[in-house]
Chain A
Amino acid sequence: MIFSFLAAIGAGFLAFLAATGRLFLFVLSSLAALFRPPFYFRLLLRQVVEMGYFSLPVVGLTALFTGMVLALQSYVGFARFNAEGSVATVVVLSMTRELGPVIGGLMVAGRVGAAIAAEIGTMRVTDQIDALTTLSTDPFRYLVLPRLLAGLITLPFLVLVADVLGVFGGFLVGTYKLGFNPAGYLDQTHQFLETRDVVLGLVKASVFGFIVALMGCYQGYHSRGGAEGVGQATTHAVVSASVLILLSDYLLTQAFFAR
């Protein structure tokens, strides 16, 4: 009884190690592809447009509402000890340091990570990835690398837009609903914001973008078993990317901001 329990834990742990190892090898293969010509610039561009431009509406909207809610909630909280004046500061710091990157990352995981896993997974189960190989084309260079790079460079821009819209949402609620003076609110917004807050938020975004693309590619690449397998790969891509985003968010925050 106790042994079967321990055996189950051990088996789970070994499976975890094997999965981590496979993921690590996958990253290494992608990095190795970076140093082999040719580089598919057109494919990179297409992925940047797909990931960045077409994600703008959903990321922009969620950031706007997040900023608005943030202003409302912090106002309610701060009013209890007469600190309403800090609403603008709280909104801008939360958005740039934390919520912009995380919300952007999670939204892109749902939109783009799923699409990547479904596309590459379908190519896997219909032999298209094998066909690439027989046509002397490296699937890592042709499929994986452009997506990883697109994630790395696109998310910061997307999150910058999210930051601006979030702050704007806070400004709308602050001035129209909570009765702040517009100039005063903007002043508050600037006062305690440092360049570092924004830049480190964008570094986070870059890491999150990489995670989303990586999980999409990895799950898609290793999917098998027809349409059902592709569906599972898609789910796993979104779930694992979301968990990894929140986990790495904690680690990065600790590394960047804790003193």
Chain B
Amino acid sequence: MSAHAAPKISVRGLEKSFDGKQVLNGLDLDIAEGESLVVIGGSGTGKSVLVKCILGLLRPEAGSIRIDGAETVGIGWAARQRLMRRIGMLFQGGALFDSLKVWENVAFGLIEGRGVERNAAQEVALSKLAAVGLGREVGELYPAELSGGMQKRVALARAIAAEPEIIFFDEPTTGLDPIMADVINDLILKCVRDLGATAVSITHDMVSTKKIADRIAMLHQGRIIWQGRKEEIDRSGNPFVDQFVHGRAEGPIAMEVRAL
């Protein structure tokens, strides 16, 4: 018997390719309940694809994804829908609904997914907007009327509006100024500490990583090549991790670029 509790999310042997291009190649990853895991890795290594597979938005060719011990690959729509009520997701591009007002976007999961009454949902939405630094008047605007950073914060408010057990953040601080980025970091920490949520974040931002992570996992060439507690990352002994953390152009991760 293992001394650890069973993982909240357990990924085994995950494989996903697009048009013959292998993106995930036998990926294994465990995420414990209530922890904040940050996934790092170069651009285009498949971090977003990994999260979309866990959510069931992409169908992997092989492998198993268990949430609370139950297999989720290939489950039916009704079971998927029940699962989604416990999960929040911040998409990399925001993915706000253009045809709905900002507050309706934030309240969407409450109203449509959980049947909360509109006025009550609006109050919740406005308080979540306030938590990401957006006032009541912003709630009445449409997403197209917001700046990129504001859209990101609205998307974040939408992801956490229903206080889910598991939250995925795909680049939550990209495109924000350093001060707002830190506010968002605090908010993510608050979700994990106060609500006891399990958080999986994807980021390139090492400052943010060091603040929000309990554990860090690095994705490279379709696998997790290193994982450990955040204190360990500076002495990982892994040249790939070192190159990434210090942002050096020279190292084992060769970027496919040619000099001008």
Q: Chain A: residues with CB nearer than 8 A to chain B?
A: 122-123, 126-128, 130-131, 133-138, 142
Q: A130-B57, A142-B112 are in contact. Are A135 and B95 (CB under 8 A)?
A: no
Provide the B82-111 mask, 1 if CB < 8 A to any CB of A, else 0.
Answer: 001101110111011110000000001100
Contact with A along B73-88 (1 / 0, CB 8 A): 0000100110011011
* Cβ contacts under 8 Å, B84 to chain A: 133-136
Chain B residues with CB under 8 A of A131: 89, 91, 95-97
Given contacts A136-B114, A138-B81, contact A130 B109 (CB under 8 A): no
A sample of 13 inter-chain contacts (CB < 8 A) reads A126-B93, A128-B96, A128-B98, A130-B52, A130-B95, A131-B97, A133-B56, A133-B84, A134-B84, A135-B113, A136-B84, A136-B112, A136-B113
Residues of A with C-beta under 8 A to B95: 126-128, 130-131
A130–B91 touching, CB < 8 Å = yes
Q: Which residue of B lies closest to A128 (CB)?
A: B95
Tell me the smallest distance from the CB of A150 to a CB of chain B, in Å: 15
- Residue from the list A127, A130, A136, A142 in contact with B81, Cβ < 8 A: A136
Using a CB–CB cutoff of 8 Å, the interface residues on chain B facing chain A are: 52, 55-57, 77, 80-81, 84-85, 87-89, 91-93, 95-98, 108-109, 112-114, 158
A136 touches B85 (CB 8 A): yes
Write out the residue numbers on chain B whose beta carbons fall within 8 Å of the beta carbon of A123.
Answer: 97
- List chain B residues, Cβ under 8 A from A138: 77, 81
In angstroms, how far is the closest chain B Cβ from the Cβ of A43? 10
Inter-chain contact A134/B108, CB cutoff 8 Å: no
User: Which single residue of chain A is at the shortest CB-CB distance from B87?
Assistant: A134
Bound-state CA distance A122–B57 (Å) is 17
Task: Name the residue of chain A whose CB is nearest to the CB of B80.
Answer: A133
Identify B113's interface contact among A126, A128, A137, CB under 8 A: A137
A126, A131, A133 pick with most chain B CB within 10 angstroms: A131
Chain A residues with CB below 8 A from B92, complex form: 127
Distance in angstroms from B58 CB to nearest chain A CB is: 9
User: Which residues in B have their C-beta under 8 angstroms from that of A136?
Assistant: 81, 84-85, 109, 112-114
Q: How far, in angstroms, from A128 to B96 measured CA to CA in the complex?
A: 6
Query: How far apart are A125's CB and chain B's nearest CB, in angstroms?
Result: 9
Question: Complex Cα distance A122/B85, Å?
Answer: 25
A134 touches B55 (CB 8 A): yes
**In the assembled complex, how far is the CB of residue A135 from the closest CB belonging to chain B, in whole angstroms?**
4
Q: Closest residue to B55 on the A side, CB-wise? A: A134
CA distance A133 to B93 in the complex (A): 16
Are A128 and B97 in contact (CB-based, < 8 A)? yes
Closest to B155 in A: A131
Cα separation A230 to B113 with both chains bound (whole Å) = 28
Q: Which residues of B are found within 8 Å of A134, using beta-carbon distances?
A: 55, 57, 84, 87-89
Which B residues are CB-close (under 8 A) to A126? 93, 95
Given A127-B93, A128-B96, verify A133-B57 contact (CB < 8 Å): yes
